[in-house]
Amino acid sequence: MDLIAPLDALFLLAESREHPMHVGSLQLFEPPEDAGPDYLRELRETLLADNTVRPTFSRRPATWLGAPQLAWTQDDQVDLDYHVQHSALPAPGGMDQLLDHVSSLHSALLDRHRPMWEMHFIEGLADGRFALYAKMHHALIDGVSAQRIMQRTLTTDPFATDVTVPWNLPRKERTPRTVQPKTGLLGALSSASSSAAALLKATRTGLLEQQLTLPFEAPRTLLNVPIGGARKCAVRSWSMDRLKQVKKATGTTLNDVVLAMSAGALRAYLLEHNALPDKPLIAMVPVSLRDEDDLDTQGVKVAALLCNLGTDIEDPAERLRVVSDSMRRNKQVYHGLGPLQTLAVSGAVVSPMAAMLLPGFASMTAPPFNIVISNVPGPRESMYWNGARLDAVFPLSIPLDSQAVNITLTSNADNLDFGLVGCRRTLPDLHRLLDHLEDSLSALEDAAL
């Protein structure tokens, strides 16, 4: 039995029917040309034949010293037939039917008496493709780790027929690294143990002297209200080249363009509802703390930036400049900090999220930020799984109480795949944000090119 890390435990303790705490993805595959009518059934049976399950996929919450949700235990016999399911869409099998089905799956809580993950193969799409919806509890894994697991099951070889299952990935050797004195996590711990004031000073400097946008300064909007448990999902892909051209013409980063594109969409959506505040919206932007050779898929390792989205600015070029300046200034907070200091500063930024999960908090105080916008690195080449080409991979994350919508995107070869998840009651017209995202990108192109 292993103790659950404090941040991971928070996702378990805060979960309720109104607040599911799992992350998911919707992947679309084009079957190989020679695929028969039983291709998907046979693929699932091939997966189920591999019943060796790694720890991340076999652990479930346990009671420790009388306290629930504070420790992990391992299931010796994981019921893969339960965790890997197969369904078909009703006619006509369009994206609307697929997203309705996935929205229902994403609304349902994971069973805490079993390892907290599921995979759903979905057929019946009118265009001949099949979908794979997968979800894992955020206490088990963060978005970057989930993306890395997905990528390791795929290959760039369209003719490869060896099927790799996510719950039994081959072990990879860590690249040997030279450890320098007083660097890395051990060095940070040593420094902190010799002077606790160093952490406090780093946090104070990050939050005050370097002008990091503080929590509790975001305006209240129609997005920042108590939410229910039913979810609505909306997805769309955009060409990477379009955003890269704006990036090149404006001297900004790709993530700056993504944030400005999202800012323009949020501004238009709120204007459409006569609900745009005078103050700019603030986004929390997660940043991974994992090195490229960090193969530990367990737990959550993220820092956080707060970004001024400039939604009070009409001009798209000026809005992009504000977003870029805000991100550059706030990234400087973390420059020169060790891992432990980085976590301390990041914890000061996101600590209000814990209070946001308390009943009634959303109605009592201003939100610490208005929305979470995440950009998770994905595959840079066309990828395949048992000969099926990966057409899209839409990340689906977690709206929080007083955070009625979440925007997460990932790169997939030449595209950026956006996944929006919202409270169904608060945002029944969530799909309108997709149209506003397109309009916002077009406006950035017109202003920059």
For residue 121, the cross-strand partners are 86, 132
For 185-242, the DSSP string reads HHHHHHHHHH-HHHHHHHHHIIIIIT-PPPTT-SPP-TTSS---S-EEEEEEEEEHHH
> Domains (ranges, CATH) in the chain?
2-153 (3.30.559.10), 206-382+393-447 (3.30.559.30)
Q: Which of 171-175, 365-369, 416-420 shows the highest mean pLDDT?
A: 416-420
pLDDT band at 310; cut points 50, 70, 90: very high
Alpha helices (runs of H) in 50-114, residue ranges in sequence order: 80-83, 95-107
pLDDT band at 47; cut points 50, 70, 90: very high
Q: Give the whole-angstrom CA distance, residue 181 versus residue 191.
A: 11
Q: How far is CA 76 from the centre of its chain?
A: 29
What count of Cα atoms within 13 Å lies in the side-chain half-sphere of residue 196? 0
Q: Which of 170-179, 220-229, 283-292, 354-363 shows the highest mean pLDDT?
A: 220-229
What pLDDT score was predicted for residue 302?
60
What pLDDT score was predicted for residue 350?
57
Cβ(150)–Cβ(166) below 8 Å: yes
Q: Which whole number is the average pLDDT over 41-46?
A: 96
Q: Give the whole-angstrom CA distance, residue 61 versus residue 9.
A: 9
What pLDDT score was predicted for residue 178?
42
pLDDT at 139 over 70: yes
What pLDDT score was predicted for residue 407?
98
What pLDDT score was predicted for residue 211?
45
pLDDT at 133 over 90: yes
What pLDDT score was predicted for residue 141?
86
- What lies within 8 Å, CB to CB, of 55 at 6+ separation is 74, 298
Which of 279-289 are b and which e, b meaning 16 or more Cβ less than 10 Å from the residue's Cβ? ebbbbbbbbbb
Closest CA to 83 of 58, 46, 54, 55: 58
Residue of 344 and 54 predicted with greater confidence: 54
Q: Using DSSP bridges, classify how beta strands 371-376 and 282-288 pair: parallel, antiparallel or unpaired.
A: parallel
Mean pLDDT score of the chain, rounded to an integer?
84
Residue of 334 and 146 predicted with greater confidence: 146
Closest CA to 349 of 379, 408, 307, 294: 307
**pLDDT tens sequence across 179-224:** 433 333 333 333 334 344 444 444 444 444 444 444 447 899 999 9
**pLDDT tens sequence across 228-270:** 999 999 999 999 999 999 999 999 999 999 999 999 999 999 9
Cβ(399)–Cβ(423) below 8 Å: yes
pTM of structure:
0.86
Q: Which whole number is the average pLDDT over 371-388?
A: 93
pLDDT at 73 over 60: yes
Cβ(42)–Cβ(48) below 8 Å: no
Q: Any idea what the Cα angle at residue 150 is, between residues 146 and 156, rounded to 5°?
A: 150
Q: Among residues of the chain, what percentage have pLDDT more than 90?
A: 63
pLDDT band at 145; cut points 50, 70, 90: confident
pLDDT at 436 over 60: yes
What pLDDT score was predicted for residue 274?
97
Cβ(27)–Cβ(132) below 8 Å: yes
- What lies within 8 Å, CB to CB, of 326 at 6+ separation is 213, 307, 308, 310
Q: Which whole number is the average pLDDT over 110-122?
A: 96
What pLDDT score was predicted for residue 287?
74
pLDDT band at 43; cut points 50, 70, 90: very high
Q: Which whole number is the average pLDDT over 371-395?
A: 94
Active site residues: 138
